Amino acid sequence: MTAIVDLLNCDTYTEHIFCNNRLKSFTKNAWPHQHSANLSAEKMAQAGFFFDPDDENPDSVSCPFCLKSLTGWEDGDDPLVEHAKRKDICYFTRIRKDEKEWTVEDFLRLLAQRRASLMLLIAHKAIDGAKDAMESVKKRIDVLTENRQKKTAKTKK
């Protein structure tokens, strides 16, 4: 449950709302595609992504609004097209405006989407946790039932 609460309080997404901060995430880390014209840090940041690598996905990027993470980039990829294709409901890819042109409504919609995406992520984590707990309880019930049956069988002998 703590991990779920941490998601709501997470500044990782908040700090990457604006392009300049998304761009900084690429420059302070080792973006593996820095020499690719299509996948430059600037293009990735303009497409709404911040650099979010891990051990298994060294070129992973995430959107601070829809929370979509993408990895496995190839030189011919267009970051904005890939973003829109993978998460067509992302308001960032639909408004197609530079952040200097955002209206108050645009900004509020982006923040609302981020909050909704976080809540959906939290719901999925809670559901997964409940499923795991249910499996554990089922296994325990099976063990108890089996033990009870063995005890009953011994008593009948």
CATH number at residue 25: 1.10.1170.10
Residue type, 87: K
Q: Which domain holds residue 60?
A: 2-124
Does residue 150 sit within a domain?
no
Does residue 47 sit within a domain?
yes
CA distance 113 to 92: 9
Q: Which residue has the tokens 């645009």?
A: 106
Does residue 75 sit within a domain?
yes
Does residue 142 sit within a domain?
no
- Show pLDDT as tens, one digit a residue, over the chain (157 residues): 445 445 455 566 788 989 999 999 998 768 999 888 899 999 999 999 999 999 899 999 999 999 899 999 999 999 999 998 887 788 899 888 889 999 999 999 998 988 888 888 888 889 989 998 999 999 998 888 888 887 777 776 6
Does residue 85 sit within a domain?
yes
For residues 99 and 45, is the Cβ–Cβ distance under 8 A? no
CA distance 124 to 126: 5
Does residue 110 sit within a domain?
yes
- Other Cβ atoms closer than 10 A to 62: 21
CA distance 14 to 33: 25
Residue type, 156: K
* Number of structural domains found in the chain: 1
Q: Both tokens of residue 59?
A: 């070129």
Residue 82, classed as helix, strand or coil, is helix
